[in-house]
Structure 1
Amino acid sequence: MKKVFPFILLITVMALSCKKDDGNGGGNGAPYPTDNLTLEAKTNSFMLVPYAPGSQSSITSQILAKEFENKYGDLFTHLNMVAGVGHPFYSFTADSILKHFGNPPSFLLNGQVYTDFEVMQEAIELAELKKPVISVVHKVTENDTSWIVDAKIEFYKDTSSNRFTIETYMVLEVPGIVNGEIDLRFPIVTDVINQDDKRSFWTRDIPSLDSSEIVARVNDTYIHNNVVYKNFNKKNPFGTNLAD
């Protein structure tokens, strides 16, 4: 399954101003594709994950992402970035983004490397309290030959930075199974993940952070989710600079 997510990314610097949609739609009164979309003034947290689908070490970040998404809902998002050339999930887009950040050895939360789990939670909760600079939503339209992405953005305070780029990423959601000659199973992790000749699966329930819910159930097939597949701007993996 393929899904698409919009993101605002920070990469470079310049003066930029933006005004709100005046509600008149497109030229000559024609409606914009994004007219019915609502922008929310909130600050989300984003975790960028160097993901190795064939390595046991990746299970930590995947469980953490499930727990955080359960607790914080749409205030938290993660992307799995596969940079291992030769793997079916390899993405030049993901590889380029990881190289930009110096090929981090672990996941990045809001652009910072963390090793303390409790500090990560504090960072997410502090981010919620910050006034957002910008919001983005998008609408994707598919026809016979292409996907068309229309984005809608709004700034909530003046900024003199051109470090903002906007991009929509297509991500994969694929079960960890054997598909013909392609083996997409996640490796065995003692007391967490096992596999048979057809699939990889959870060997125990994974509880939410407050233990009130289950975020992964025993015997459920392992799913590779939010795996970056490609972006829509062929010239820049970070998308289009808002100053352009």
Structure 2
Amino acid sequence: MATELLQLIWLASPALPVGGFSYSEALEAAIDHEHVHDEASCADWLADQLHLSQARGDMALMAQAIPAWQAMNTDRLKDLSQWAHTTRETHEMRLQTEQMGRSLLDWLRIQNKATEVALKLCSDMRPTYPMAMSLALSLAHAPLDQALQAYAFGWAENMTQAALKAVPLGQVSGQKILARLAQEIPEAVQHAIALSDDERQAFCPMLAVLSARHEIQYSRLFRS
């Protein structure tokens, strides 16, 4: 149990060398267009993104990919990987998921825990971040809800750090935002686990529009 917990903490850590700190996932564009301007609006924005984008999309995908990796269900994994690629709505979103996926796969090779078969399959599918993270989480052999909570908290921490720099906000505001997201993560995880293939979706028009606008934003700190 201790080993499982430590693996989850490690995968949720901002120190994981995947470059998550360099992306804001359109938050910077939301700030530029004044949708986000203070602690309250930032907390609302990220909570909406957690429930409407992450829980219905990547987290739902991972809820299905983790057991598929454990069973090495190749056909299922290829279908899920294809869905991950086709649901990146902008150039920035695609570059982010592919760069972070490659980096996490490199980390997994260094850790020497995944089998060569699993590493090759992930590489051949052009790794996206949710698929590579699903492989990493599957190796922890933790309960599915705990695995997804670890992923979601890692995402929340990266996004909160982006908000501190871009809004900008102080550390106290950041902790309040993170506390709210942590409180809402269990509900988002249960929603993700409950979704079927037909219910899984990637439909957040404003997020996609702002991501596209960020690609030509005059001044920016982040790659997305």
**TM-score interval for Structure 1 and Structure 2 normalised by the shorter chain:** under 0.3
Greater Cα radius of gyration, structure 1 or 2: 1
TM-score (norm 1): 0.24
Q: Which of 1 and 2 has higher RCO (CA within 8 Å, sep 6+)?
A: 2
TM-score (norm 2): 0.26
Structure 1 or 2: more strand by fraction: 1
